[in-house]
Structure 1
Amino acid sequence: MVIVRISETAQAAGVGVETVRFYERRGLIEQPAKPTFGGHRRYPNETVERIRFIRRSQGIGFSLREIGELLSLRVDPEADCSVALGHTQDKLAEVDRKIASLQAIKAALEVLVQNCPGRGAISKCSIIDALATADESVELA
C-alpha cells in the first residue's frame, strides 16, 4: 500500500483537492490522521479507487447518500448482491419516472411552440396567454 498526499490522490482520481475534502466531510472516504512531521495528510491507494467508485456512481445518477450505502455494501463481506440490485432497480424506476415527466414537459412545450406565430404584440402572445391562464391541474399538452 503506497501512501500519497491529498493532491496526488485527487489527481490520480481525476478530481480536485476540494472534492476529496468534500467526500471526507460527507463520510464517503476516511480522513487520514496527519503524520507527526510535515503536517500533510497521507492517503492509501485504495482511496483513489473509492473516489473513482463514487464518481462512476454519481455518473449514473446515484445520490451521495445512496453511494454511501453502496460503499458500505462494498466493504461488508456479509452483504448480499441482492441489496445492490435493489438499490439499482430503485434508481432505474426513478429514472423512468423522470423520463416520463420530461416527456410530458416536452409535449407541453411543443404545443406552445406550435400555437405561437412568433410575431406580433406580446399582449397577444399565445405562449404568455397559455402560461397566464392555464389551471394548475390542466396540462398544456
Structure 2
Amino acid sequence: MKIGELARQAGCSVETVRYYEREGLLQAALRDQSNNYRHYDNAHVDRLMFIRRCRALDMTHEEIRVLLQARSQPDANCGTVDALIDAHLHHVQARIRELSMLEKQLYDLQSHCHANRATRDCGILRELEQAEEGENSTLAISSSGHLAGSHAH
C-alpha cells in the first residue's frame, strides 16, 4: 500500500507517517524503483497503530522505542515494560498535581475580576503585573514551566 492508504488506515496524516519514519519509530518503506513511491505492508499498519496508542498515552519517543524493542523480543522478561509504565504513571500523577495547582491559581486570579471596569482597574491584570514584579501575589511562578502535554524523562 502507498503512504496515503497507510495514513488512512492508521487515522493519521501522511506527514505523521513521514515524521515517525524520520524519528526511527517506523521502519522505512520499500521504494518502487520505477516511481520512488513508498510501499507499506500490514506490519507497518500494526506498528504505526501501536505508536499512535502510545502517543495517545502521552509517551515520549524514547519510551515508545523501549516498548517497541520489548515488543520485538516476545520471550524476554516484561519487567522493563512494567517499570516504564510505573514511571510514566508517576509522571502523570505529578502532572495532575501541577495542573490542580494551576487550576487553583487561575480561580484565585479570576477572583480579582470585578466586571464592568476599565482595563486600567482590572484586578486580573494587576495581579499578573505584580507577579512579574515579584511582589506578593496569588500567583506562584513555577520553575518547571507551563505544562504542554509532554515530559522530560
Offset at residue 110 of structure 1 (A): 0.9
The match for 1:140 is 139
- The 1-side partners of 2:130 and 2:108 are apart by 15
Question: Considering only CA atoms, is the larger Rg found in Structure 1 or Structure 2?
Answer: 1
Unaligned stretches of 5+ residues in structure 1: none
The 3-state SS of whatever aligns with 2:53 is helix
- Structure 2's unaligned 5+ residue stretches are 141-153
1:138 Cα deviation (Å)? 5.9
1:45-99 superposed Cα distances (whole Å, 9 cap, x missing partner): 1110100001111111112222122111110235321111111111111111111
User: How many percent of aligned residue pairs carry the same amino acid?
Assistant: 34
CA contact (8 A) 2:127 2:137 kept: no
In the superposition, the TM-score normalised over structure 1's length comes to 0.84
Partner Cα distance (1:26, 1:57) in 2: 15
Alignment partner of 1:51 is 2:48: yes
**Paired residues, number:** 138
Q: 1:24 aligns with which of 15, 21, 27?
A: 21
Q: TM-score, normalised by structure 2?
A: 0.78
2:100 to 100, 103, 127: 103
Higher helix proportion: 1
Q: Mapping of 1:1-141 within 5 angstroms?
A: 4-134=1-131, 135=134, 139-140=138-139
One-letter identity of the residue aligned with 1:7 = G
- Given the superposition, is the C-alpha separation of residues 40 and 136 from structure 1 closer, same or farther in structure 2, using an over 3 Å criterion? farther
RMSD between aligned residues: 2.2
